[in-house]
Structure 1
Amino acid sequence: MDVKVFCFSPVGNTEKIAMHLGKTLARHLGGALIERSFTLPQERQAPLVATAGEIVILALPVYAGRLPNVMAKYLQTMEATGALCVPVVVYGNRNFDDALTEGQLVCEHAGGQVIGGGAFVAQHSFSKTLAVNRPDELDMAQVEQFATALAQKIQAGDTHIPLLAGNNPPHPYYTPRDRHGNGIDIRKVTPKVGDGCVQCGLCAQHCPMGSINPANVKEMQGICIKCCACEKRCPVGVRYFDDPNYIYHRKELEEMYSRRAEPVWFV
Structure 2
Amino acid sequence: MNGTVYALYFSPTHTSRAVSRRAAQSLAEALNLPFEEIDLTPPAARGKAYPFAAADIVVFSFPVYGGRIPALLEDTLSLIEGNGAAAVPVAVYGNRAVEDALAEAADWLEARQMTVIAAGSFIGEHSYTAKVGHARPDESDLSQAAAFGAAIAEKLGRGDRSPVAVPGNRPYKDRAPASPGAPVTADTCTKCGLCVTGCPMGVIDKDDPAKIAPGCIKCCACVKVCPLGAKSFKDARVTAITKMLELTCKKPKTPAWFV
The TM-score with structure 2 as length reference comes to 0.95
Alpha-carbon spacing, 1:81–1:186, altered in 2? closer, same or farther (3 Å)? closer
SS of structure 1 residue aligned to 2:50: coil
What is aligned with 1:204?
A: 196
The answer to which of 143-152 and 124-133 deviates more is: 143-152
- For residues 168 and 33 of structure 1, what CA distance do their matches in structure 2 show? 33
- For residues 87 and 246 of structure 1, what CA distance do their matches in structure 2 show? 28
Alpha-carbon spacing, 1:245–1:45, altered in 2? closer, same or farther (3 Å)? closer
Alpha-carbon spacing, 1:28–1:63, altered in 2? closer, same or farther (3 Å)? same
Please give the residue correspondences for 1:29-108 in structure 2 after superposition, counting only pairs within 5 Å: 29-108=31-110
What is aligned with 1:236?
A: 228
- For residues 49 and 92 of structure 1, what CA distance do their matches in structure 2 show? 30
What is aligned with 1:246?
A: 238
- For residues 109 and 7 of structure 2, what CA distance do their matches in structure 1 show? 13
- For residues 260 and 237 of structure 1, what CA distance do their matches in structure 2 show? 25
Superposition RMSD in Å: 1.3
Displacement of 1:137 in angstroms is 2.3
Report if aligned partners of 2:124, 2:137 keep a CA contact under 8 Å in 1.
yes
- For residues 148 and 36 of structure 2, what CA distance do their matches in structure 1 show? 19
Q: What is the percentage of aligned positions where both structures have the same residue?
A: 35
What is aligned with 2:210?
A: 218
SS of structure 1 residue aligned to 2:160: coil
Displacement of 1:186 in angstroms is 6.8
- For residues 144 and 23 of structure 2, what CA distance do their matches in structure 1 show? 9
Please give the residue correspondences for 1:6-21 in structure 2 after superposition, counting only pairs within 5 Å: 6-21=8-23
SS of structure 2 residue aligned to 1:42: helix
- For residues 198 and 8 of structure 2, what CA distance do their matches in structure 1 show? 18
Structure 1 stretches lacking a partner, 5+ long? 176-184
Report if aligned partners of 2:26, 2:147 keep a CA contact under 8 Å in 1.
no
- For residues 3 and 186 of structure 1, what CA distance do their matches in structure 2 show? 35
Displacement of 1:42 in angstroms is 1.3
Is 1:264 matched up with 2:230? Answer: no
| Counterpart code for 2:52 | A
Displacement of 1:261 in angstroms is 1.1
Report if aligned partners of 1:47, 1:78 keep a CA contact under 8 Å in 2.
yes
| Counterpart code for 1:214 | K
- For residues 128 and 173 of structure 2, what CA distance do their matches in structure 1 show? 23
- For residues 192 and 186 of structure 1, what CA distance do their matches in structure 2 show? 18
What is aligned with 1:179?
A: none
SS of structure 2 residue aligned to 1:247: helix
Structure 2 stretches lacking a partner, 5+ long? none
Report if aligned partners of 1:209, 1:222 keep a CA contact under 8 Å in 2.
no
| Counterpart code for 2:231 | R
The TM-score with structure 1 as length reference comes to 0.92
- For residues 194 and 145 of structure 2, what CA distance do their matches in structure 1 show? 30
- For residues 222 and 146 of structure 2, what CA distance do their matches in structure 1 show? 30
Displacement of 1:154 in angstroms is 0.5
Please, which of 166, 172, 188 is the counterpart of residue 180 of structure 2? 188
Displacement of 1:19 in angstroms is 0.1
- For residues 260 and 51 of structure 1, what CA distance do their matches in structure 2 show? 38
What is aligned with 1:178?
A: none
| Counterpart code for 1:80 | G
- For residues 186 and 46 of structure 1, what CA distance do their matches in structure 2 show? 25
Report if aligned partners of 2:18, 2:142 keep a CA contact under 8 Å in 1.
no
What is aligned with 1:181?
A: none
Please, which of 163, 166, 185 is the counterpart of residue 164 of structure 1? 166
